[in-house]
Amino acid sequence: MAGQRWALLRPWLGAVSRLILGGVWIAAGVSKLDDLAASARAVSAYRLLPHDVATFLGGVLPFLEIALGVLLIVGLATRLCGAVSAVLLVAYIVGIASAWARGLRIDCGCFGGGGDLSAEADPGYAGEILRDVGLLVLAGFLMALPRTRYSVDSAILPAESTSGERYVANGGSEVE
């Protein structure tokens, strides 16, 4: 039965989503850590926010990304982390799309770096947006179905068991 297979598969897909999304957040945050001034300039280079707001975000975002990544990987408050991830990703997609639409030629600063590109360098906006949309799908999946394998959530909230049978019995829903 397809529904049964899905019920068995779902927590595992969720766990994989958590690991991918969390891993990307940690990589993105860590890559910006050693030059927070560059991170601030990267945000500033989008020319969307007042300079002081941009530099504030540039200093804060790397740490937020790392914390979000760790929470996702351990699986604590997965629904909230999926929602925060989705908000960040939508903001990044809007930022990149807006830079593209305005004809800016910038390094997105997604994994460190940032700033204007030279005339011959390819900004690669399409690929970046595609990647972020892919991650947004994972974030949406975790928001909708936050109960996943190997997560703190399922370990400390026994009311909603992670066993496959339970999911089948509930017809895929998480309420009793």
Partner 1 sequence: MWTTAIALAVLVIAGLIGWGVWQSQKSDSYAAPAGITDDGGKDAGVLAAGTGPVTVEVYLDFQCPVCKQFEASVGPTIDQLVAQQKIKLVWHPLGFLDSLSTTDYSTRSASAAGCASDGGKLKSYGDALFAQQPPEGGPGLSDDTLIQIGETVGLTQPSFAQCVRDGKYGNWVAHVNDLAARRGVNGTPTVFVNGTQLTDRTPAGLTAAVNAAG
Residues of this chain that bind partner 1 (CB under 8 A): 34-38, 40-41, 44-45, 47, 51, 55-56, 58-64, 66-68, 70-71, 76-77, 79-81, 84, 106, 112-113, 115-119, 152-153, 156-157
CB of 118 to partner 1, least distance (A): 4
Closest to partner 1 by CB, 7 vs 96, is: 96
Compute CA 3 distance to the chain's CA centroid, rounded to the nearest angstrom. 28
Contacts of 42 by beta carbon, 8 Å cutoff, 6+ apart? 32, 58, 107, 108, 109, 113, 114, 115
Closest to partner 1 by CB, 7 vs 85, is: 85
CB of 5 to partner 1, least distance (A): 29
Closest to partner 1 by CB, 8 vs 59, is: 59
With 0-12 / 13-18 / 19 or more C-beta atoms within 10 angstroms meaning exposed / middle / buried, residue 173 is exposed
Residue 148 burial (CB count, 10 A): 24
